[in-house]
Amino acid sequence: MSVYKKLTKTTDERFAGRGIGIFTPGEQTSIPVPDTTVLCDGCNENQYPEDGYLVYLSNRELALDRPYDFFCPKCVKEYFPGAVLAE
């Protein structure tokens, strides 16, 4: 099974209008995330407006566009050195 990486612009619409949900019994809260905040899951640095990589843990996840997470070029090279570049 291969891991895939897909070069992605942090200005892509997929990073717009996001929020973090906090759920407790009987209550839910959403905290908005600015469109200009796109954090790398490896180093936790804001990558906006630089490009980075969405990482997919299988061909199935890639086909369904269900990424594992977003990584900067340095961290994707460190944590996923064998990842196959996807179109």
Whether the per-residue pLDDT at 53 is higher than 80: the answer is yes
Whether the per-residue pLDDT at 1 is higher than 90: the answer is no
Whether the per-residue pLDDT at 23 is higher than 80: the answer is yes
When pLDDT is cut at 50, 70 and 90, the band that residue 43 belongs to is very high
**Tally of domains in the chain:** 1
Q: Name the average pLDDT for the chain.
A: 97
Q: What is the pLDDT of residue 10?
A: 98
State the CB neighbour count (10 A cutoff) for residue 87.
6
Q: What is the pLDDT of residue 7?
A: 98
State the CB neighbour count (10 A cutoff) for residue 29.
10
Q: What is the pLDDT of residue 58?
A: 97
For the chain, state the CA radius of gyration: 14
Strands 18-24 and 27-33, bridge-based pairing: antiparallel
Domain span at residue 23? 4-85
